[in-house]
Amino acid sequence: MKILVVGAGAVGGYFGGRLVQAGRDVTFLVRPKRARLIGERGLRIVGLGEDTTLHPRTILADEITSTFDLVLVSVKAAALRSAMDDFAPAVGPDTLILPVLNGMRHLDELAGRFGERRILGGVVMVSTTVDADGDILRLADVQSLTYGSRTGPPPDELVGVLGGAGFETRLTADIVGEMWAKWVFIAATGAVTCLMRATIGEVASTPGGTEFAHAVVDECAAVAEAAGHPVPKESLDGTRKTVTAPHSSLTSSAYRDLVRGRPVEVEEIFGDLVRRARLLGAPVPLLSLVTLNLRVYQRTRA
């Protein structure tokens, strides 16, 4: 199965790199600067005691001459539209597209462009960043990819391709529910860390921090429930435990972007949740505050 990984950043570089290591037929669609760096330095996965150098196949948008069986989309939300233009020639009649962006909005954009049927849902749990050398730096020992069809038959053909590649994978019958659970998790983690400009542990160990984190989780979970996708108790308990852990160095990709002065996926992670909450009549004062805070950041960033 020919796999095109769109974006060799923190997430695409990590999962795509693992698939390369496992001998899968992977090509990375990259832009010229990233292509040069990977050509010179290799794609390196570092951190947590690892130092792996891979030499994957890369391709630029104007070099795509054939279609792929699976397109794994791992760009940030702001780059999605131009990425869709770039990878469109790789999409044939039977190509499946598996996006792993946080939030939910990208599904409509991808379905609008390529058709509902081929757009799978995906959830990644990983904590990686691109470091100053351009390497994929692992920050925590989590690495899972959950995926499934939203409309059609389960993509069973992916099980053997994505499985056994050094990260956990799960094909689920309820990927939309899983995406909501991840959205609650990432919105809560992102809200706590971005609004307080601190790690989960720094907030949780400060008086009032734990109560704040619980209140954020309550809001996020209430939106999921109102939307018809209540987060299962076990998953919600896990989210609460994670966002209130006093010694945790966990942040979120949104927070890492914020402290580096980069664009944050404000609308996709927070704004869209607030918008849906309003439509559903769910009160979200804390999420509204985080959204406003980050919108101001976004406008004044430049």
Ligand X SMILES: CC(C)(CO)C(=O)C(=O)O
Which residues form the interface with ligand NDP (CB under 6 A)?
6-12, 29-31, 33-34, 74-77, 79, 82-83, 86, 100-102, 124, 126-130, 253, 265
Task: Return the one option of ligand X, ligand NDP, none that residue 189 interacts with (CB less than 5 to 8 A, by type).
Answer: ligand X
Closest approach of ligand X to the CB of residue 250, in Å: 7
Report the C-alpha gap between 289 and 270 in whole angstroms. Answer: 10
The gap between the terminal CA atoms of the chain, to the nearest Å, is 43
Closest approach of ligand NDP to the CB of residue 269, in Å: 7
Task: Return the one option of ligand X, ligand NDP, none that residue 290 interacts with (CB less than 5 to 8 A, by type).
Answer: none
Helix 233-243 and helix 175-196: axis angle, to 10°? 20
Residue 178 CB contacts under 8 Å (≥ 6 apart), including other chains: 121, 123, 146, 148, 172
Name which of 166 and 210 has its Cβ closer to ligand NDP. Answer: 166
Residue 252 interacting with ligand X (CB under 6 A): yes
Site residues for ligand X, 57-116, by CB under 6 A, read 102
Site residues for ligand X, 172-211, by CB under 6 A, read 186, 189
Q: Which two tokens stand for residue 246?
A: 């006093």
Closest approach of ligand NDP to the CB of residue 211, in Å: 27
Residue 280 interacting with ligand X (CB under 6 A): no
- Given a contact cutoff of 8 angstroms between Cβ atoms, the answer to whether 154 and 148 are in contact is yes
Residue 258 CB contacts under 8 Å (≥ 6 apart), including other chains: 194, 197, 264, 294, 297
Task: Return the one option of ligand NDP, ligand X, none that residue 98 interacts with (CB less than 5 to 8 A, by type).
Answer: none
- What's the DSSP call for residue 278? H
CB atoms under 10 Å from CB of 272, counted, come to: 19
3-state secondary structure of 69: strand
Angle at 108 between CA 105 and CA 110, to 5 degrees: 105
171 pairs with which residues across the strands?
Answer: 147
Residue 125 interacting with ligand X (CB under 6 A): yes
Closest approach of ligand NDP to the CB of residue 19, in Å: 15
- Given a contact cutoff of 8 angstroms between Cβ atoms, the answer to whether 219 and 286 are in contact is yes
Looking only at the bridges linking them, the beta strands covering 121-130 and 50-54 are unpaired
Name which of 18 and 24 has its Cβ closer to ligand X. Answer: 18
Report the C-alpha gap between 200 and 189 in whole angstroms. Answer: 7
Closest approach of ligand X to the CB of residue 139, in Å: 7
Q: Residue from 149, 235, 239, 253 that binds ligand X (CB under 6 A)?
A: 253
Closest approach of ligand NDP to the CB of residue 57, in Å: 14
The residue number with the shortest CB distance to ligand NDP is 9
- What's the DSSP call for residue 265? -
Name which of 27 and 102 has its Cβ closer to ligand X. Answer: 102
Chain residues that interact with ligand X, rule: CB under 6 A: 102, 125, 127, 186, 189, 252-253
